[in-house]
Amino acid sequence: MEKHHGFIGCLLFSALLLASCASNELVEKTVVQKKAEIYYGQGTNDLVKKNYSQALVNLLKARDFDRNDSQIRNNLGMAYYFREQPELAEKELLTAIKLDEKNTDAKVNLGTIYLEKNRLKEARALYEQSLQDLTYQNQFRNYFNLAILNLKEGDRKEAYELLFKSIKEKEDYCPAHFKLGEMYFEEYKFQQALSSFIESSKGTCVSEPAPHYQQALSLISLNRFEEARIKLKTLVEKFPKTPFHSLALNQLKKISEELKMQASTKSFQTETIKESKTTESPNF
């Protein structure tokens, strides 16, 4: 099975902190705090739009005005990460946690950086700390990350359980459905894989090509070639500037070759039957 982890890579991270960066809304903000908040908001919007360079510029300015705000440090850490500076990202996230031990988003984000570096023990410690935060609204993401961690450790059974918990927390959390689809596919459970990939194409992932491509592969494995062909043609039309365009074209070519081979084999078998001599049954 072809892997496309780019689809879920960024989704391992906790949601960006979009709330006001003021630690206490009841306290009137100083001019400096207001400036920090303005740059924080602009930088966070840039992150959401994936304009990471500009996000870094604005969040650095926000930090200059308020170095002790945990939320600024979390989002700055994310800006560094997406600009491929994991060491600086780690430093900012550690600072965010030091400034506010209740910043669960920062813990999950730092845990994910550790997960990518295979620092699994440290990642697990942060994820398990996050499980203790009963008010944390992104717990579905934490369960998902723990599932990925367990897969790295070879515990598929626990990974399944955690993915089911993730979906229970947030029914339309598409990365969990997608990962379940990958796991089912690896185990040749193609119908279950197809169902999971269909679910993974909903919600926030509706515009992602990967779930549709994996649906097509599942349909091919189920010998449902015409349905697969329709799905692949849709991919070619809707996602011309992505790697899935060429992948879909390649699969369409393979389907055509497979159908031709099947037709040829069927024709050969028919001719063989026509040419074979009738043999009378022995009269015992």
- Per the structure, the complete domain to which residue 229 belongs is given by 171-273
Q: What is the pLDDT of residue 264?
A: 75
Q: What is the pLDDT of residue 6?
A: 54
pLDDT digits (tens, 9 = 90+) for 27-59: 567 899 899 999 999 999 999 999 999 999 999
CA 37 from centroid of its chain's CA atoms = 30
Are residues 150 and 177 part of one domain? no
Residue 58 token pair: 């604005």
Q: Give the mean pLDDT per block of 10 residues along the chain (284 residues).
A: 50 51 57 94 94 97 96 96 96 98 95 95 97 94 96 98 97 96 98 98 90 97 96 95 95 91 68 46 38
Count of Cβ atoms closer than 10 Å to residue 10 Cβ: 13
Domain count, the chain: 2
Q: Is 174 helix (H, G, I), strand (E, B) or coil?
A: helix
Are residues 175 and 79 part of one domain? no
Q: What is the pLDDT of residue 265?
A: 73
**CATH code of residue 223:** 1.25.40.10
Residue 264 token pair: 């040829």
Are residues 179 and 42 part of one domain? no
Domain boundary (137, 158, 179) is at: 158
Which distant-in-sequence residues (6+ apart) come within 8 Å of 14 by Cβ? 104, 105, 106, 108, 109, 112, 138, 141, 142
Are residues 152 and 26 part of one domain? yes
Neighbouring C-alpha atoms within 13 Å toward the C-beta of 227: 13
**To 10 degrees, the CA torsion angle through 16, 96, 114, 53?**
50
* Separation of alpha carbons 67 and 4, rounded Å: 38
Domain boundary (158, 185, 219) is at: 158
